[in-house]
Amino acid sequence: MYHSKLKYFFFLTAIFYYSDSLLAQEITFPDGSPEWLIQMFFKSENFTNKEKYFTGEMKDEVNYQTIGEELSGKGEVYFYLFCSGENQKAFAVNLKINSTDLDFYCYLVNSTEGWKIEAVRRFLFPKFIYTAADSLSNLSSLSESDSLTLELLKLMTSPDEYLKNYLKNRIDKFERLLQSFDENNAELIEATINELSLYGIFKDDAYPGCVFIQIAEIESREVGYIYKPENSALPVVSPRKFICISEVLPGWYFYRLI
């Protein structure tokens, strides 16, 4: 695995917003549908009989307020489906309250009793990440090392939409990085990783053929991109590991891992 020489490669956060998301309060969904459950949990100020719609770990949350109940229905809720199977669906949910974005991932399963919420996740990191970003942003003069670190922090704390566009707008450089990796050109790999403010590039034997390009990693949490050749398989999305894998361009995906 090749790593960037940037000073603070471990800073990372997540903000979720997607331009083609559905605005929950503008659409009426059939009762019991996956979209209705998203709307009820995140927007409705009164989710009655919610015990009927919770399963797995969410059964322990029955006596607690949902997000919508806690916020009394305030804010705008945007969401989109990023993983779908016959009996499972995963949604990215963005809750906008004034100028604040709160981001969640919601996982649903289809049982004999209909669709139910299995788990809800947020992608959170220690407060020092934000503190460091704010501190560097407020400095009037930065060393070269601190400037590189600030650029990395800005990338790490950007919304998912920004990170996806970051790949789209620099796809030529990412393809150059991929080619250099295939050719084992260490010098060009290092130069491109640093140019793009990335952390590293590697393959994982658990996912043959896939190439992982890390934006950052801290402990067990990662954010980055996956290049998947034809006839290769992506990791499985779940609330316990790869909490989001979303296609950006043909063969290119954005991922978050906990």
Q: What local confidence, expressed as pLDDT, does residue 21 receive?
A: 64
pLDDT number for residue 1: 60
Residue with tokens 């949490």: 221
The residues with which 119 forms a beta bridge, in sequence order, are 107
Residue 126: how many CA atoms within 13 Å on its side-chain side?
A: 8
Q: Which residues of the chain have pLDDT under 70?
A: 1-25, 125
Q: Angle at CA 103, nearest 5°, toward 155 and 147?
A: 15
As a whole number of angstroms, the distance between CA 239 and CA 82 comes to 13
To the question of pTM greater than 0.95 for the whole model, the response is no
- Residue 65 has a pLDDT of 97
Cα 58 from Cα 214, distance rounded (Å): 31
CA gap 120, 57 in Å, rounded:
9
